[in-house]
Amino acid sequence: MKTLVQEESIPVPKGIKISIKSKIVEVSGKHGTLKRDFKHLPIELYLANSGHEVRAKMYFAKSKQLSMLRSVCSHINNLFDGVQKKYEYKMRLVYAHFPINATITNGGGTVELRNFLGEKRVRIVNMLPGVKVEKSAGTKDELTITGTDIDLTSRSAALIRQSCLVKDKDIRKFLDGVYVSSHGTLED
């Protein structure tokens, strides 16, 4: 059955500027500006309540299609969190015998992973734009990845993880690699 009209709304936090123009949402806060395009979705996006609320509206949709309203609101909330607090992914270098050696180059823009399973090959992983990587000060064998955009930050963490996959061996026994240990927003 089709629903005639469904609406979702989210409040705009204090200290954040937001503009919506033809389904392109631009959010700016203390950590910079993020932009996201929702043109591929058949929804109406507009600012209500004199710019203190974002509303997403959809007409004549089935229940599966209505789910995109909540998704859009979640995406916009992630933009708010990104420009306010930044996202942080913590990764651990896990090894049984050969210690993995991580070197940060390019001012936090590139990671070089050496000696993975004793291999001579140097794995070079470039971070996506706007994402920084650094070694943790307190913890040994830990990398911290920070950025404002949740997509780019999590994809950078995934690139590091995928660069160290064990091939042609029993992965239940060979557990070496770089794994995400925790992720979330940076608390100021």
**What is the per-residue pLDDT across 69-112, written as a single tens digit (0 to 9) for each?**
999 999 999 999 999 999 999 999 999 999 999 999 989 999 99
pLDDT of residue 51: 84
Whether the pLDDT of residue 188 is over 90: the answer is no
Length of the chain: 188
Q: What are the respective helix, strand and coil percentages of the chain, to the nearest 5?
A: 20, 45, 35
Q: For 148-159, what is each residue's pLDDT tens digit?
A: 999 999 999 999
Instruction: State whether residue 28 is helix, strand or coil.
Output: strand
pLDDT at 187: 74
Mean pLDDT taken over the chain: 93
Strands (E), 15-95: 17-21, 24-29, 32-37, 44-48, 53-61, 87-94
Q: How far apart are the first and last CA of the chain?
A: 46
Query: If you ran DSSP here, which 8-state letter would residue 12 be given?
Result: P
**Inter-CA distances, 22 with 5, 7, 37, 78, 183, Å:** 20, 18, 9, 20, 32
Q: Please report the pLDDT score of residue 91 as a whole number.
A: 94
Percent of the chain scored above 70 by pLDDT?
A: 99
Instruction: Tell me: pLDDT of 36 over 80.
Output: yes
From the list 141, 70, 134, 68, the residue with the least C-alpha distance to 104 is 134
